[in-house]
Amino acid sequence: MNDSETLIGLVSQYSPSGQERGAVEWLVARMKALGYAEAFVDAAGNAVGALGSGPRQVVLLGHIDTVPGEIPVRVDGGVLFGRGSVDAKGPLACFTDAVAAVGALEGWQFIVIGAVEEERNSEGARFLVDKYRPDFLIVGEPNRWDRIALGYKGVAWAEISLRRAQTHTASGEQTAAEAAVELWMAIRKQTETFNAGKSRAFDQILPTLREITAGQDDFSQWARLKVGARLPLEMPPKQWYASLRKISSDAEISPVGYALPAWACEKNSSLVRAFLSGIRSQGGAPAFVYKTGTADLNIVAPVWQCPALVYGPGDSALDHTPDEHITLNEYTKAVKVLAESLKNLTEK
């Protein structure tokens, strides 16, 4: 097997959210070619491959969709350029190849999943919540071959609407637009107070003003803000929305999309220990990271309540960028790390 065949082939299938079918079918065919006992497209459109039939189960959950923006796929000096090479087809291909390398083990079943829609509303992962109850969960996101991610922040979005009575511009009365700006500054002040003394970004509220619009009709003025926040463990979405309502008592707060609480994985688990040994086996010095983004981990881990972590090759600083790329050497190391980690885990 060419060490990079799965990676290059998968990256070559352009698959922005909502257009994953071609990549899904390619991965299913690839899994079959690699000897998976079963490979299929599930009812949500996810690519699923199973190897082994034991009662103990490891789910390796990656995502097969990318953000839009096709990048010509090429290999130059041992570096693969292409959309998804980092986020997150690199990790998903790594899962596929590592499980194939380990093969079927008595008493165990490996399930590799390429989920759809992660870059939008994670419809693929939401479908899986009631379908599996694994003993261990590995989520595929790029954090470099020698690091393990143990936490991802939560997220919540809201649209805030304000109205003010129509007045003459010379009246000195506060306009709806001015009230909206004042409200945003109050939100910023509240988060600064919450964040005081918290050195890690993972423990802070990170607010974002994505959009502000204003206008008027015959008798009133209006303003709308679209506000988001990356949330720490201490601030679940319900509490964040309550704080917004308290600050903006005369505004209408409407949650937008799916809110997700932050999640941190257990650090002292047999799964983590297996990966520490796997990374060291390839000459790495393992490290832990806690991310400011959100992943499918936040959706399935609270329900499955099993030991979990996030692993995958690639530099996350290149996520969504026009220069997205991964070194083939790092990819090969990550496959070896994961294969060794799975062997360590299943020998316990």
Q: What is the DSSP string of 17-70?
A: TT--HHHHHHHHHHHHHTT-SEEEE-TTS-EEEEE---SEEEEEEEE--B-S--
- Classify burial at 124, counting beta carbons within 10 Å of its beta carbon; exposed 0-12, middle 13-18, buried 19 or more: buried
Known active-site residue 173? no
Closest by alpha carbon to 306, among 273, 266, 339, 345? 266
Cα separation, 299 vs 317, whole angstroms:
23
Known active-site residue 135? no
Selected catalytic residue, list 20, 97, 117, 118: 118
Kindly state the tokens that stand for 116. 């759809």
Per 3-state DSSP, the chain is made up of helix, strand and coil in percentages (nearest 5) of 35, 30, 35
Sign of CA dihedral 235, 237, 242, 247: positive
Q: How many residues does the chain have?
A: 348
Selected catalytic residue, list 20, 65, 141, 315: 65
Do the Cβ atoms of 41 and 49 come closer than 8 Å? Answer: no
Kindly state the tokens that stand for 294. 């959100």
Do the Cβ atoms of 97 and 151 come closer than 8 Å? Answer: no
User: Scanning the structure block, which residue is given the tokens 């679940």?
Assistant: 236
Cα separation, 294 vs 118, whole angstroms:
10
Catalytic (active-site) positions? 65, 118
